[in-house]
């Protein structure tokens, strides 16, 4: 009898499967989707059997499978098909997709981490430093200054592990800052599974409104694979719609479901509401689970002991059997796109998975992504609308505070003063809210650290003449560069619009603002929340619980405080500086800004006391600000879509961003230029419909000591984009010097 051969997907960066023979005695346990242990490049790997080999010619005699750990295949036929789709569409080796889809305990990818009880925290203790104080303090100690400013951008604190392991900061630089008394290092306890010990909320007894009923009825009568876009303003009761749908799917039809939220730690209220209704049939998949706990949850779902998986992005791979519904709450959130390989978008994967398994998909948002909006307009998705807040509440009144009305006092002499950061209208509103014993939320958008040049007098921002993209300010040599087309110019002496003296804007740290606020309101209970450190995630859940219990007067935070919070006693929302996000060199900057403003405004006035919103900005006429103020999503989308026609950006075209990185700047640029030529030649011969933009340095030029360049592929034809992207990734040769690396990001959510 001929020996049996199978194709095995391995988690290695090679775009092919590998052939192995099946030993006679293992043959009965080797199926499609089985885990197998095989040797590859002298190491043992866990691979997944993709299928039997179709008698292809091999140069070498294949090795045989060493062992088969499970009796039953761990990957179902549907899950394998889904992973194959991801591998094809996002141009990623299948084995790497499968590794991401399975719990770590099954892929042998890493040893289980020993549970950490404490972690070391570094925190800035010096007062805020002005520019000249910085120059004096750090002199030529560039690395120390860089670390200090990095910490500022992280909200003033971080775990040391995060700095040294993820951001490659050297411990000697940390030590140096500590010795100079600029930072302090301390130990902090790490919590374990807080959901296990959370109090169970009571299920809500609300009677659905007419609009909610209509949405629920439509969804529960849907055909398998149908996709709904649930566009409901903030406070319109989307969660109740999800829950009523799941009652039908899970309790009446005995099917399973997946609920995706942007981040578990930031949405404890939403998770609590689901748990209140579905109790122990829910598996909450969150980042604090150990590999063992994660595997237990995985098994419970696979066996059908649990019916509903609630989690962030990767929960889309939960092995829920007999899947009836997939819900994506806040579908516009960028966190649904994975930032590292495999760079999939959970929304796209959800839609493909639901089609394959006959489930319905509900995409919910008050501010849908433009992609989803266009899909609903073209009837690919069915649009369902909740136009009003429930319970007679109305959307809050939003007013703009024009930051241009005041001149910056001695810009480079001292750090910003309270009056400069919080203008009198916002100050008065804060004081009022405090006096009434109500709560305020203050948003400080931190994404302003990519520097740009803006006129402090008229608000004009220097943009590229070719790309309608903000020019990025570079030092040494000082100039403005467009990161899409490489256009360069000198920093102008005067504003090109109003001839005012231009000033470089710097972002503000939340910690700085917190200090200014507590000087102004010494008896107020002010709490700061920033998500950037990977550490202390549950601290955020705790803070939110404290806000809910009324123990916080002013909650100050970055964009994370804009998400799904539902606190009726929050009657004031202030946005400290709306502009920083608008000016990022990214075609999605306006969309993100609009979403952020609309979402954070949506936290105000959810109870009977009503609420108001104050947005401080230098660009009150920008459409993202204007239409956030008038609560007019449709008008925003219309204007934003028009702005993405020439040059075309999604959803008017499709993108793949190819990023080149390495530790030697020169080699990275050479590689990117060579790749650009290679691609242009490829496209010239193929006469395809793909356009190439670049190469150019990435807007964030260096991440974790690696320099970055990129090339953008644009096409209206998705399969052309797949073809060109795949051909390039498979054939283009990367020299083995300077740790050069190429990644392809299909449908990028950011081009930074």
Dihedral pair phi/psi, residue 5, rounded to 5° = -120, 145
Q: Does 268 bind ligand ADP (CB under 6 A)?
A: no
Minimum CB separation of residue 364 from ligand ADP in Å reads 7
Nearer to ligand ADP (CB atom), residue 312 or residue 390: 390
Sheet holding 183-189, edge to edge: 157-159, 118-124, 183-189
Per-residue contact string for residues 463-482; x = within reach of Zn ion by CB under 5 A: -x-xx--------------x
Distance CA 432, CA 426 (A): 10
Determine the straight-line distance between the first and last CA of the chain, rounded to whole angstroms: 57
Per-residue contact string for residues 207-226; x = within reach of ligand ADP by CB under 6 A: xxx--x--------------
Handedness of CA 402, 406, 412, 417 (dihedral sign): negative
484 binds, among ligand ADP, Zn ion, none (CB under 5 to 8 A by kind): Zn ion
Do the Cβ atoms of 343 and 745 come closer than 8 Å? yes
CA distances from 211 to 217, 240, 608 (A): 10, 11, 21
Minimum CB separation of residue 233 from ligand ADP in Å reads 7
464 binds, among ligand ADP, Zn ion, none (CB under 5 to 8 A by kind): Zn ion
Minimum CB separation of residue 747 from Zn ion in Å reads 22
354 binds, among ligand ADP, Zn ion, none (CB under 5 to 8 A by kind): none
Minimum CB separation of residue 549 from ligand ADP in Å reads 16
Nearer to ligand ADP (CB atom), residue 90 or residue 242: 242
Distance CA 723, CA 739 (A): 26
Q: Is the peptide bond before 620 cis (omega within 30 degrees of 0)?
A: no
467 binds, among Zn ion, ligand ADP, none (CB under 5 to 8 A by kind): Zn ion
Nearer to ligand ADP (CB atom), residue 208 or residue 688: 208
Nearer to Zn ion (CB atom), residue 298 or residue 649: 649
232 binds, among ligand ADP, Zn ion, none (CB under 5 to 8 A by kind): ligand ADP
704 binds, among Zn ion, ligand ADP, none (CB under 5 to 8 A by kind): none
Interface residue with ligand ADP, options 156, 237, 256, 536 (CB under 6 A): 237
CA distances from 653 to 381, 562, 638, 642 (A): 18, 29, 16, 13
Q: Does 204 bind ligand ADP (CB under 6 A)?
A: yes
- Burial (CB count within 10 angstroms: exposed 0-12, middle 13-18, buried 19+), residue 50: buried
Token couple for 501: 């003296």
Token couple for 402: 């024009």
Minimum CB separation of residue 651 from ligand ADP in Å reads 24
Q: Among all residues, whose Cβ is closest to ligand ADP?
A: 237
Minimum CB separation of residue 602 from ligand ADP in Å reads 6
Interface residue with ligand ADP, options 99, 238, 447, 563 (CB under 6 A): 238
Q: Does 391 bind ligand ADP (CB under 6 A)?
A: yes
Distance CA 645, CA 707 (A): 31
* Reduced 3-state DSSP string for 490-553: CCCCECCCCCCEEEECCCCCHHHHHHHHHHHCCCCCEEEECCCCCCCHHHHHHHHHHHHCCCCC
Q: Does 243 bind ligand ADP (CB under 6 A)?
A: no
Nearer to Zn ion (CB atom), residue 171 or residue 466: 466
Q: Does 587 bind Zn ion (CB under 5 A)?
A: no
Size of the site for Zn ion (CB under 5 A): 7
Nearer to Zn ion (CB atom), residue 663 or residue 700: 700
238 binds, among ligand ADP, Zn ion, none (CB under 5 to 8 A by kind): ligand ADP
| Helix and strand counts by DSSP (H, E) for the chain | 23, 29
| Residue position matching structure tokens 């136009």 | 387
Nearer to Zn ion (CB atom), residue 558 or residue 698: 698
Minimum CB separation of residue 539 from ligand ADP in Å reads 23
Q: Does 722 bind ligand ADP (CB under 6 A)?
A: no
Do the Cβ atoms of 576 and 514 come closer than 8 Å? no
Q: Are strands 439-443 and 570-575 parallel, antiparallel or unpaired?
A: parallel
Beta bridge partners of residue 526, listed in sequence order: 554
For 279-396, strand residue ranges (E) read: 282-285, 308-311, 323-329, 360-365, 382-386
737 binds, among ligand ADP, Zn ion, none (CB under 5 to 8 A by kind): none
- Burial (CB count within 10 angstroms: exposed 0-12, middle 13-18, buried 19+), residue 285: buried
Nearer to ligand ADP (CB atom), residue 347 or residue 644: 347
Q: Does 390 bind ligand ADP (CB under 6 A)?
A: yes
Q: Does 485 bind Zn ion (CB under 5 A)?
A: yes
- Using alpha carbons, select from 109, 485, 75, 138 the residue that is nearest to residue 317: 75
Interface residue with ligand ADP, options 117, 142, 206, 412 (CB under 6 A): 206
- Using alpha carbons, select from 579, 694, 593, 590 the residue that is nearest to residue 642: 590
Per-residue contact string for residues 556-595; x = within reach of ligand ADP by CB under 6 A: --------x-x-----------------------------
209 binds, among ligand ADP, Zn ion, none (CB under 5 to 8 A by kind): ligand ADP
Do the Cβ atoms of 751 and 699 come closer than 8 Å? yes
DSSP 3-state assignment of 557? strand
Q: Which residues bind ligand ADP (CB under 6 A)?
A: 204, 206-209, 212, 232, 234-240, 390-391, 564, 566
- Residues near Zn ion (CB under 5 A) are 464, 466-467, 482, 484-485, 487
């Amino acid at each position: 009898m001929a020996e049996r051969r199978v194709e095995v997907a391995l988690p290695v960066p090679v775009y092919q499967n590998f052939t192995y023979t099946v030993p006679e005695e293992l043959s009965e346990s080797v199926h499609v989707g089985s885990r197998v242990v095989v040797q590859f490049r002298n190491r043992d790997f866990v691979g997944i059997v993709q299928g039997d080999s179709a008698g292809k010619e091999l140069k070498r005699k294949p090795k045989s499978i060493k062992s088969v750990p499970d009796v039953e295949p761990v990957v179902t036929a549907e899950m394998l098909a889904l992973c194959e789709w991801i591998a094809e569409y996002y141009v990623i080796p299948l084995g790497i997709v499968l590794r991401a889809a399975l719990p770590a305990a099954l892929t042998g990818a890493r040893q289980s981490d020993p549970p950490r009880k404490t972690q070391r925290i570094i925190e800035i203790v010096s007062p805020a430093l002005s520019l000249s104080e910085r120059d004096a303090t750090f002199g030529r100690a560039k690395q120390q200054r860089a670390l200090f400013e990095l910490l500022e951008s992280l909200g003033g604190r971080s775990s040391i592990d995060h700095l040294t392991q993820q951001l490659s900061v050297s411990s000697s630089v940390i030590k140096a800052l500590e010795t100079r008394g600029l930072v302090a290092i301390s130990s902090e306890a790490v919590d374990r599974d807080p959901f296990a010990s959370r109090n169970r909320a009571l299920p809500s007894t609300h009677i659905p409104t007419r609009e909610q009923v209509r949405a629920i009825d439509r969804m529960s009568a849907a055909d398998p694979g149908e996709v709904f876009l649930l566009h409901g303003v903030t406070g319109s009761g989307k969660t109740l719609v999800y829950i009523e749908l799941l009652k039908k799917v899970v309790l009446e039809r005995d099917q399973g479901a997946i609920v995706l939220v942007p981040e578990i730690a930031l949405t404890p209220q939403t998770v609590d509401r689901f748990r209140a209704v579905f109790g122990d049939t829910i598996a909450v998949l969150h980042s604090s689970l150990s590999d063992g706990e994660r595997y237990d949850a995985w098994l419970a779902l696979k066996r059908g002991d649990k019916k509903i998986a609630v989690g962030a992005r990767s929960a889309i791979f939960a092995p829920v059997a007999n899947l009836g519904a997939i819900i994506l709450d806040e579908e516009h959130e960028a966190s649904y796109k994975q930032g590292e390989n495999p760079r999939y978008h959970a929304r796209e994967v959800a839609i493909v998975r639901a089609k394959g398994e006959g489930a319905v998909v509900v995409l919910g948002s008050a501010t849908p992504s433009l992609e989803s909006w266009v899909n609903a307009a073209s009837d690919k998705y069915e649009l369902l609308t909740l136009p009003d807040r429930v319970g007679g509440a109305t959307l809050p009144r939003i007013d703009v505070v024009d930051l241009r009305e005041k001149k910056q006092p001695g810009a480079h002499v001292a750090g910003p003063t309270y009056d400069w950061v919080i203008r009198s209208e916002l100050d008065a509103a804060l004081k009022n809210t405090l006096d009434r014993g109500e709560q305020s939320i203050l948003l400080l958008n931190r994404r302003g650290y990519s520097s740009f040049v803006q006129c402090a007098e008229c608000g004009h921002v220097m943009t590229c003449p070719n790309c309608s993209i903000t020019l990025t300010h570079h030092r040494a040599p000082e100039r403005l560069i467009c990161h899409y087309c490489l256009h360069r110019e000198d920093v102008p002496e005067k504003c090109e619009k109003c001839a005012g003296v231009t000033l470089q804007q710097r972002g503000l740290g939340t910690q700085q603002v917190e200090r200014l606020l507590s000087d102004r309101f010494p008896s107020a209970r002010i709490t700061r929340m920033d998500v950037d450190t990977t550490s202390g995630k549950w601290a955020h859940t705790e803070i939110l619980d404290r806000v809910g219990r009324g123990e916080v007067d002013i909650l100050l935070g970055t964009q994370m405080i804009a998400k799904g919070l539902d606190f009726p006693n929050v009657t004031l929302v202030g946005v400290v500086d709306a502009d920083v996000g608008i000016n990022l060199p990214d075609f999605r900057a306006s969309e993100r800004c609009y979403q952020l403003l609309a979402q954070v405004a949506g936290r105000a006035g959810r109870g009977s006391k009503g609420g108001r919103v104050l947005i401080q900005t230098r660009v009150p006429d920008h459409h993202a600000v204007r239409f956030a103020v008038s609560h007019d999503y449709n008008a925003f989308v219309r204007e934003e879509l028009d702005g993405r026609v020439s040059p075309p950006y999604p959803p008017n075209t499709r993108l793949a961003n190819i990023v080149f990185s390495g530790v030697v700047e020169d080699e990275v640029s050479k590689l990117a230029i060579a790749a650009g030529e290679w691609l242009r030649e490829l496209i010239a011969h193929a006469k395809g419909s793909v356009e190439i933009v670049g190469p150019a340095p990435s807007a964030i030029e260096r991440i974790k000591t690696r320099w970055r360049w990129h090339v953008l592929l644009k096409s209206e034809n998705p399969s052309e984009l797949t073809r060109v992207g795949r051909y390039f990734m498979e054939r283009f040769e990367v020299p083995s010097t300077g740790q050069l690396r190429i990644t392809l990001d299909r449908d990028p959510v950011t081009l930074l």
